[in-house]
Amino acid sequence: MHARNIITLLLIIVGGLYWGLVGLFQFDLVAAIFGGQEATLSRIVYVLVWLSALWQLMAFVKSFSDGEVRAERNVR
């Protein structure tokens, strides 16, 4: 697994845990850590999680036509 895939997968997991906190407790951990939803660092984290999801989505879609292992090798 490429380092890029590991990093994006980790960010997606962080995003999932984040949304669990929002859904269950109405607690925005990213905003609490970085100074609010409008803070530049918070927005960077949100965008990085979004870009990670897009990256993993490309591998997911490609896996339907190439098979999982080949799709992971071909996403660059």
List the structure tokens of 47: 């965008």
Predicted confidence at residue 59, as pLDDT, reads: 83
Predicted confidence at residue 70, as pLDDT, reads: 62
- Show the low-confidence residues of the chain (pLDDT under 70): 1, 67-76
8 Å CB contact between 38 and 44:
no
Predicted confidence at residue 71, as pLDDT, reads: 57
Predicted confidence at residue 2, as pLDDT, reads: 83
